[in-house]
Every structure is written in C-alpha cells, then in structure tokens.
Chain A
Amino acid sequence: MELILSKFTKRFGATTVISEMDLHVGAGEMLALLGPSGCGKSTTLFAICGIHRMDGGSLHFGDRDVTTLPAQRRSVKVVFQNYALYPHMSVSDNIAFPLRVKRHDRATITRKVGAIAELVHIGELLDRKPAQLSGGQQQRVALARAMVREPDVLLLDEPLANLDAKLRLEMRTEIRRVQRETGITAILVTHDQVEAMSMCDRIALMRAGQIEQLATPVQMYENPANQFVAGFMGNPPISFLPAHLGERITLSGGNSLPRPDRLAGQGPITLGLRPEHLGPQFGQGLRGTITFVEPQGREDLIDVRLTGGEALRAILPSGHGHAIGDSVDWGVRGDRLLAFSTDGERI
C-alpha cells in the first residue's frame, strides 16, 4: 500500500526537529531513510507508526487518512533495533501475540504462525525462548511477528545494527527477499549507506530534518545533489579538494586537470573525487606520494598526498606494484569528476 506523508512537522518542546517534510513511498516499494544520527529519520519513523504524535501535516496509507489514528489501529509494524521480542514467551507465542490480541481462533493462529515461520525460515525454532536464539534468528522472529498480520506498511529501525558482519550480509538479503515475496511497502531507517544502497529501491537522504535528496541508489551515487550527499554515499568515502575553475581545474602545488565541458562558470570550487576514479589508468595530472597502502584482498586502498598537501584516496586492483613512499603521477576519470560550489551545491 502506498504511503503519503505531506507537510509533516514535528516539534519537541520549542525545537522544531522536522518541518514540512514530504515523502511518498509507492506500493510494494522499499525505501531507505538514511542519514547521520540526529537527522530526524527515527522521529519520522515513530510518527509514521503512531508512537509520536504529528505536530503538523498529514499521513495517508493509500486513501486512508491515519494522521490521528492511535498506533493500535494503524496497520503498520515496526521491527526494532533490539528486536523487542517478549522474553517470557516462546517464539510461536511471540509471533501469535498480534493475532491473539485480535482474537483470531486457534486454528487460524496456528496456520498463520506456521506459514510466516516457513517464510522466514524459523519453522524448527517455534518452541524456543528468545534467549535461546542467535541474533539472526531473533531478527527473523521479529520480522515474522511484524509480518504475521499482513500490515500495510513495515518499518525497520536499524534492523541490522546488532548483528555481526557475516550475519548482516545474510539478513540483508533475507529481509529484502521477504519484502519482495510479500510485496509489502517497507521503510528502512539506517545510518549505514551500504545497507541503504543494497536493500532499497530508493533512498531518502536526510540531514537536520530535511530530505537532501530522494533518488535510486545508483542515481544518488553517481549524481549527488550536493556535497553532503556526495560525502555520505560511498565507502571508502569521496575525497574533497579545494580547487580553482578556470581554463583548467587548478589545484595548489602545480597540479591541474583538464576541465570537463559540462562544468559552467569559474572561480573557487570544491572538487569531489571518488577513489575508484583516480589511478594510473586514467592518465596523468595529479602528482604526489603514496603515504599508506591498505590491502583489502581483491583491491588495495591507497592514500596519496599531493604535492600541494591535499590528501586523496584511490582504490586499485591488487598487484598494482606500488608501495609506501612511491612518487606517482595519476589521472582522474574526467566524466565522473564532481564539482561543488563553495557553499556545497553541485555545479
């Protein structure tokens, strides 16, 4: 079901945390609310599920106005970061609780619990207590409990934050699979851009209560709206260098790059270079010294200090033959170079 949030405003006391935010999530879509901590993404989530009252604006699930409905009567479920399983109940009682509250009969409950347990692959764990489960299994139970009554909207609040790296990869695909198979509309709140990019159809990147950009992961990575978005997306992160836009793009220390035709204007700019767009395969232009090499197996992360003192990071396939202290003269991939005005807007 479609979710439409319009002119949403939230205040805590005298501080306005979010003002007039609009958000539209299509039916069956999975959207990420991404941003640094304190950007208002959790506040938005809590307003959607009805834990926080909205101070302004409206919220629709499909045609239904749920702005003032209490949480119990909205068809929305949250999977919390710590899963919030009921520790005194067995797994099947946990999953059955939402159905018991609605007074479904015993046969229906057994059938639905069995079906959802199959979907999230916890069929053999139904008699255990939450304390006897691993983190990933608890996550699956929480997902099952949230999905068992087939809510209109599923909200996921940092669902992977408490898992170790390997489980995180596994649950990432699992959550996405369950979401796809059921076709549920879902919102994922996270501060991890890798999670957001890998799991979601679209990403809303938030800062200070505002949506900075709302786009597909690829668009957002390749075509960021401003310096904040460019800096937030990508791991290892993009490098920013002060530069001057004239005939060429000039950096301090005598380095310069050819100016791409698409850039208009002149004057001081901030240059954004992603690690994968810097290296010997792109010709020459930036001279410097390698200060650090961080092997990652398949590729190496290489820190370069330019002659003008700026620090840059490149990523090269293993076996490149460079070592700490080497002098290099590397080029950049001109069509993927990003430029920002001094106030952070994209040029």
Chain B
Amino acid sequence: MSRTAAVPGLRIWHLVAVLSAMSAPLVIMYAFQIIDSVASPAPGALWPTGFDLNNWRFLWESVDSGRPGIWQVTFNTFVFASVTSLSVCAFSLTAAYALSRLNFPARRFFLAGLIVLHAFPTITLIIAIFIILQYLGLYDTLAGVILVKAALELPFGIWIMKGFYDTVPWEIEMAGVQDGASRFRVWWSLVLPQVQPGLAALLIISFLSGWSEFVLPLVLAPGAGAQVLATYMNAVIASETTQDFGLFKAIGMFYTRPVIVIYLIFQKRLMNIYGGGTKG
C-alpha cells in the first residue's frame, strides 16, 4: 500500500520542485500585491512596518479632483462590461445558429470571415474606428466604446456558440418541426436549452473581457464622463503629482475582486467552453 502511494510522489518530486521555482515569482507578486495594499513600507524597503488602511482612501474620498469618484467609475465599468457581454451573447446566439443550421448565400464567406476577424489584431483598426465614432457623434461616450468592444468580441462569441450549436442533433429540431412548432419556437424552447452551458460561459467570459478592457476606453473615451476602472488606474499611476504605488495596488485589488469572485463561482461553467458540448 504505502509503497504504491509513495512511488508516484517520489517520481515527480523534481517536477514539483521545478514548477515551484517557476511559479515562485508569481506567488511573490500576488503576495506583495495584497500586503502592500494594506501597509505602507518606507521607500525602498521591502518589509512593511505596520498595518495601514490609508491606501484604500479612494473608496471614501476623491483622489483626484479632476476625475469622478471611484463608485461612478465602478458603475461605468459595470455598465460597460455587462452591456457588452449581453449584446455579444444576443448577437452570437442568433448569428451562430444561422451559421450552424441555415443555408444562406455566402455562408462559407462569413465562416471564413469569422476566423480571419478572430485572428486579426484589432488594435490596427483603432484609427479607423476613432474616425467612425467621431463621425457618428459617439466619440467619448460609453455607448460608443460598448459598440466597438461588442463588435470586436463578436467573432469569438459566434465561433464558440457555433461549436455548441453543432453538437445539437438536427433530429431534435426536425422532431420539433414535426410536432408543429415554428422554427422560432423550436430554436427558443428546444435548441437554446441545449446550448445553455455555452451561453453561460460566453456571458461570463465576455463580461470579464469587458471588465478588463483598457485600450478601447483609453483611446475612444478619454473624457471624465466615460471613465472605467482600467483608465482610472492608469490615470492614478500616470499622474505626475501623486505617484502613490500603495494606492495603485489597493485600487488594483479593488478592481480584481469581482473577477476572482466570478471565477470562484463559475469555474465549472467556464470549463464547459473547452469541453465544447452538453452531456446528458
């Protein structure tokens, strides 16, 4: 008994050692992220000298009079991430169904286009997008950034959802049609429940992607009205008068918390997207 249990452990001990050594910097970084957010070490010192909640002052007072308070910014970020993910899901659900099931002109072109767009470095489009938004009057508004972010996320979303639709047996739809249901009814009450795990995963992933988006809000909505947490942090660290790393780390902790919570709650559902289908 003990022999069989001990041998695998012995055999991989050097792997564990290598992996520990390689992950150590990450662990140290995370550790100091947390420690420094509630402590104020002397400049240049490594170890904190005392417990200090001063870094979290951004929660109850404004750190920069020229910018909106943290709660306004958090609200903006939440609106940005949730509206983006909801619209990505709404469009992906319908577009992916069409690509998976319906036979329409240029279907192959759209499929190929999806892959190209998915692989395309979107940052190269930023100037064109800037001009278009300005032309539409959506520059420096949250709506404009949402629109752009949702559009850029769509290829990924459609591709994922198409994979889920492809696993639904077509006989289920045919049976539904035979049962007298309209195509819409069949989609809504028979097919959609089968792809629901994919939908949940996509919703979470695109929400997190929106939550952490930085470049688009920075370029397309630099004004005070449409600040999100990423640009807010950027402003804090870029500010010349107050380069307060403790504050920066505390905001970082604040910014990351929803992400960690979402991951902890939805781990299993997120795994679905790689499993790529429904079971049972």
Residue contact B180 to A102, C-beta cutoff 8 Å: yes
CB proximity of B181 to chain A, nearest CB, Å: 5
B-side contacts of A84, CB under 8 Å:
169, 171-172, 174-175
22 pairs from A and B in contact (CB 8 Å cutoff): A71-B174, A71-B178, A72-B178, A72-B181, A78-B174, A78-B175, A78-B178, A81-B171, A82-B171, A87-B280, A88-B193, A88-B194, A97-B176, A97-B179, A98-B179, A98-B180, A101-B179, A101-B180, A101-B185, A102-B180, A129-B280, A149-B180
CB within 8 Å: A-B pair count: 57
Which B residue's beta carbon lies closest to that of A131? B280
Asked if B278 is at the interface of the complex by the 8 Å CB criterion, the answer is: yes
B-side contacts of A330, CB under 8 Å:
none
Residue contact A77 to B194, C-beta cutoff 8 Å: no
Closest 8 CB pairs of A and B: A84-B171, A98-B179, A84-B175, A88-B193, A131-B280, A80-B171, A101-B180, A101-B181
Asked if A277 is at the interface of the complex by the 8 Å CB criterion, the answer is: no
A-side contacts of B194, CB under 8 Å:
87-88
For B97-109 the 0/1 string (1 means CB < 8 A from A) is: 0000000000000
Q: Complex formed: what's the CA distance from A80 to B193 in Å?
A: 20
Which of B174, B177, B178, B190 has the most A CB atoms < 10 Å from its CB?
B178
A-side contacts of B278, CB under 8 Å:
87
Which B residue's beta carbon lies closest to that of A88? B193
Q: Complex formed: what's the CA distance from A49 to B179 in Å?
A: 11
Residues A82 and B280 in contact in the complex (CB < 8 Å), given A72-B181, A88-B193: no
CB proximity of A258 to chain B, nearest CB, Å: 54
Secondary structure type dominating chain B contacts:
helix
CB proximity of B239 to chain A, nearest CB, Å: 53
Residue contact B190 to A86, C-beta cutoff 8 Å: yes
Chain A residues near B (Cβ < 8 Å): 49-51, 71-73, 76-78, 80-82, 84, 86-88, 97-98, 101-102, 129, 131, 145-146, 149
Asked if B182 is at the interface of the complex by the 8 Å CB criterion, the answer is: yes
Q: Complex formed: what's the CA distance from A97 to B188 in Å?
A: 13
Residue contact A80 to B174, C-beta cutoff 8 Å: yes
A-side contacts of B193, CB under 8 Å:
86, 88
Q: Complex formed: what's the CA distance from A87 to B195 in Å?
A: 12
Interface residue from B177, B179, B280 paired with A145 (Cβ < 8 Å): B179
Within 8 A of A (CB), among B182-236: 182, 185, 190, 193-194
A-side contacts of B172, CB under 8 Å:
84, 86
CB proximity of A121 to chain B, nearest CB, Å: 21
Which B residue's beta carbon lies closest to that of A46? B174
Q: Complex formed: what's the CA distance from A78 to B113 in Å?
A: 37
B-side contacts of A50, CB under 8 Å:
177
- Given A84-B171, A129-B280, 13 more A-B residue pairs with CB atoms under 8 Å apart are A49-B178, A72-B180, A76-B178, A78-B174, A78-B178, A80-B175, A82-B169, A86-B175, A87-B194, A88-B194, A101-B180, A145-B175, A146-B178
B-side contacts of A97, CB under 8 Å:
176, 179, 181
B-side contacts of A131, CB under 8 Å:
280
B-side contacts of A86, CB under 8 Å:
172, 175-176, 190, 193
